[in-house]
Amino acid sequence: MHQNAVTLHTFERMPSKFYLFFILIALFTCPRARAQVGEIRGFVYDKQSGEPISWSTIVIRENRRGTLSDDNGFFTFPNVSPGSYTLECTMVGFDTVAVSVTMKSQGLVNQNFYLSTTSALLDQAVVTAARQKRQTETTVGEINITAREIKQIPTVGGAPDLVQYLQILPGVVFSGDQGGQLYIRGGSPVMNKVLLDGMTIYNPFHSIGLFSVFDTDIIKTVDVHSAGFSAEYGGRISAIVDVRTRDGNRTHLSGRANINPFSSKVMLEGPLKKYKPKSGSSSFILSYKNSYLDKSSAVFYPYIGSEKLPYSFGDLYGKLSFNSSSGSYFKLFGFNFTDNVNFEEARYAWTSNGIGSKFLLVPGGSKTLIDGFFAFSDYAIEQDEQNQEPRSSSINGFNIGLNFSYFKKTDEFKYGMELNGFTTDFRIVNANNRKISQLENTTELTGYLNYSKIINEKLILEPGFRIQYYSSLANTSYEPRFRAKYLISNRLRAKVAGGYYSQNLLSAVSDRDVVNLFYGFLSGPDDLPEYLGDQRVTHRMQTARHAVGGLEFDLNRHSEINSEVYIKDFTQVSNINRDKIFDDNTENSSKPEYLRKDFIVEEGQAYGFDVNYKYQNKVFYCWLVYSYNVVNRFDGIRKYQPHFDRRHNFNVVSTYQFGKEKQWEFNGRWNFGSGFPFTLTQGFYENVDFNQGASTDYLSANGDFSIMFADLNTGRLPSYHRLDLSLKRTYILKMEGSEPREFVEIVASCTNVYNRDNIFYFDRVSYQRVNQLPVMPALSVSYAF
């Protein structure tokens, strides 16, 4: 069936409650007559670069009414009475600007601010902006990351990368250096949605496990929602990683090149139409990075052994940005990501490419902001193994989203819709020589509303509701969400969140697999068991419920503590059935479902708590995190812990800048993690298949070498710990104002400094222990202009 046919069929079958949902939104947000009041709104920009400034403070002097600019630099004052006013905009690290405006009856005043940087307190601006956000938004189960923070940890090869920073976040578990994946507060990778400017990236991490597809130098912000996320996000039952890229340089041509033993990179950016205050601009940015570890490891790390690091990849990304003087913009981006692994006994290769656009409209006569996106992407992976059938999986499709933001006093009402259509093609043969395949088209239609209200400057409430309609499953999910924060004092805040979540997509990797580089996808399958234990399976969605709460405490202007406790109740999870040994046909109908179905249904819980401490001043940065997590699953027969159930995880990160011009920077990271679960070996035996029936001579027949396993994941591997260090020296070649215009960076780094033998897995057949990466020194050189 063609994709467009599936989409039309989706609208025909869509429940009437879905239409009613949008009618109610339209009635709620339609303009109502309000006597004598108007609105003041605008954007805050950096006067030199044209970049929007987030979380600056704008105040009306006459009544001391204040607000903050958002991620786009946008601010608004609804319901302003007629009269003359003075607006004042302040931000640490920038000069204060004041302007006069006149409001007429039911008028709309657009007033932008252009702030000039000062030479002092630029570092403190980042801290102040983050704290202002936490005092005006719920931020429950949420971590906000900037490119600057990503560069503050020692990195493998000396090149900073997002995946290496994600590993130090509360509740995040990393399974290994090679083929490792990220597990966020008890959710497997397929339960976590990774977005790039609104587009879903199906495989954001390379097979080596140490590098992502994202170039750190083009990242603007990354928001990690680890539990209890708002109605704006959906389609996953565990977590959201929302990556936003920045625009290219709007004033002059610039670039960056880097080379190290692991990889190299080149990035170029510049204006198409140069930025000038109060006028429009356009720019471009182009980035390419690649890894040649399969070749360089033999030169730089011969002690690791041949064929131990057969990894290579290439990531190409480009973006065009068009910005108007009113604040509206249109952005067009595209990418091509590739990954290759060539072991002697197996070969893996995947490609991911796509094109997308993102826009923001600021209508001149309307009090509603409109933003949206359109994207198309394609992902395909293949695996070839000696003496086994090849595996393949692909997913391609589109997603379209439209969001509306309406402001009233201190309240924000945001609603929107999203349409996703994709095709999955999946083919494997499992260990029992049984074929599992799927070719399916599906469409998902989503609507949501989110309402944020500040009461008495102390209580922030954020109720929301989301509807997810899954065409291929013929199921609709109704998902209430709620988030709240209470400001106990200027330094202490309490927060809670919860909600219902659902998804269709599942991974071709079973949660029982410890190491698997084949990362494919399927949409919700038909071939599910009728029962999970003694409970009947009534739908094909994967579903979960979240609850999370915590405290934020600002110790002083430089340090803060954040603690949270959470629980995720995975009420239904689908997995590949690795135990299938019979074809699911009439002949085998009497066999148990778990021995003949392609997929199994599970339920489980993930719960725990974490505490993190952060200190930051002009020259020193420190980040401490302790996480306690418990993950369990029940498959209808047994209760077990999946292989990523790491109970204790502790991270220490520090950065120190020194020298007259802070040209030296020292970074360190130490990580400790308790052992992962694994299945113990009880013994070995010769497996005779009796293919000649009762006449089989089992005394002389040659059977296959087989392993007798203990109960699933009842053992524990040794604990993991590792120290990474780096030292960076910056040579400034040219200055422009207070910022370096041309410079060289040299980074000397060392991964696993004391050469800890951290176990990766144990090869039961050859009876050999396979460790993760040993000590690996590296030298990285970068040139930027």
Q: How many residues comprise the chain?
A: 785
Tokens linked to 285: 């940015």
Q: Taking the mean position of all CA atoms in its chain, how far away is CA 412?
A: 25
Cα–Cα distance measured from residue 206 to residue 385, given in angstroms and rounded to the nearest whole number: 19
Higher pLDDT: 590 or 262? It is 262
Cα–Cα distance measured from residue 148 to residue 217, given in angstroms and rounded to the nearest whole number: 9
Cα–Cα distance measured from residue 298 to residue 763, given in angstroms and rounded to the nearest whole number: 24
pLDDT at residue 386, rounded to an integer: 66
Give the pLDDT mean for 531-560.
93
DSSP letter, residue 659: S
Give the pLDDT mean for 620-648.
94
Contacts of 592 (CB under 8 A, 6+ apart): none
Residue 608 phi/psi, 5-degree rounding, is 165, -165
pLDDT at 242 over 60: yes
Single pTM value for the model = 0.90
Over the chain, what is the mean pLDDT? 87
pLDDT at residue 351, rounded to an integer: 96
pLDDT, tens digit (0-9, with 9 covering 90-100), for 142-184: 999 988 889 888 887 778 899 999 999 999 998 877 767 889 9
Give the pLDDT mean for 553-570.
95
Higher pLDDT: 11 or 471? It is 471
Cα–Cα distance measured from residue 600 to residue 579, given in angstroms and rounded to the nearest whole number: 9
6 pLDDT tier (thresholds 50, 70, 90): very low
Whether the Cβ atoms of residue 597 and residue 528 lie closer than 8 Å to each other: yes
Of 578-587, 592-601, 695-704, the least confident: 695-704
Contacts of 269 (CB under 8 A, 6+ apart): 248, 249, 253, 254, 255, 283, 284, 285, 286
Cα–Cα distance measured from residue 506 to residue 58, given in angstroms and rounded to the nearest whole number: 46
Whether the Cβ atoms of residue 499 and residue 545 lie closer than 8 Å to each other: yes
Whether the Cβ atoms of residue 605 and residue 569 lie closer than 8 Å to each other: yes
pLDDT at 265 over 80: yes
Tokens linked to 290: 């690649």
The residue behind tokens 């410890």 is: 514
Give the pLDDT mean for 406-430.
86
Distances (CA, A) of 20 to 17, 23, 24, 224, 626: 5, 5, 6, 32, 46
pLDDT at 472 over 70: yes
- From the list 252, 244, 291, 284, the residue with the least C-alpha distance to 267 is 284
Whether the Cβ atoms of residue 464 and residue 457 lie closer than 8 Å to each other: no
Cα–Cα distance measured from residue 3 to residue 378, given in angstroms and rounded to the nearest whole number: 14
pLDDT at 196 over 90: yes
Cα–Cα distance measured from residue 610 to residue 98, given in angstroms and rounded to the nearest whole number: 43
510 pLDDT tier (thresholds 50, 70, 90): low
pLDDT at residue 243, rounded to an integer: 96
Q: Decide: helix, strand or coil at residue 148.
A: helix
